[in-house]
Amino acid sequence: MPRGRYSLHDPHDHTLLAEEHFQCAPGPSGWRYVSRLTAPSGDHLGSVDLALDELGRPIRLELHAASWQVRGAALDGVTWVRTDPTGTHATEGNVRAHAFTGSSPAFLIATARLLRLTPSAPATRVRLVAFTDPVLAPLTVDQSWTLVEREAHATDSGPLTVDEYQVTALDTGEQQTVHLSGDVVLAAPGIELEDLESPPSALD
């Protein structure tokens, strides 16, 4: 069960925005990721709880940020309920999309697991609903994912397989490089792995 800490930065000026303390593990129904976020000051910022089924579809998502809350799942595309800080104005949403995304590294792993790309596969288009910081506002985005390279690196605990993805935002053409190993993000724009207590779990 990987457990560790990511630092989240502004990808443009590299300002430290938050630290995300996480643990994740494959389970009988798929994969689960839970984390809590803290500000550089140490204040609590929010949390992430994401569970996927064996096909990589989100069967439960719960996000908390700035007193806002989102609960969602794959249902007729993806469906969610977003609740305001007072709890009086819950709004529902539904989009014909494949999954969710957001600032947490969990979503990169979830999308890779959903697509299950191979290095020789062509670019794959995916529609996602992003919940944007700091108030978890929903935004539908289209991305293209390509698995550029898969390499095995020797480590003290055995070979570590690293996948390099190219992720393209189809509305702007902006490209990002994402490095994953199993269910851990090694590097991505705005994301740095600061601490890892155990090796990544392989995602079949």
> Considering the entire predicted model, what is its pTM?
0.95
pLDDT score at 202: 80
Quick one: three-class SS letters along the chain? CCEEEEEEECCCCCCEEEEEEEEEEEECCEEEEEEEEECCCCCEEEEEEEEECCCCCEEEEEEEECCEEEEEEECCCEEEEEECCCCCCCEEEEECCCEEECCCHHHHHHHHHHHCCCCCCCCEEEEEEEEECCCCEEEEEEEEEEEEEEEEECCCCCCEEEEEEEEEECCCCCEEEEEEECCEEEEECCEEEEEECCCCCCCC
pLDDT score at 5: 97
Summarize pLDDT for 37-89 with one digit per residue, the tens: 999 999 999 999 999 999 999 999 999 998 899 999 999 999 999 998 887 88
Summarize pLDDT for 101-117 with one digit per residue, the tens: 999 999 999 999 999 99
pLDDT score at 155: 78
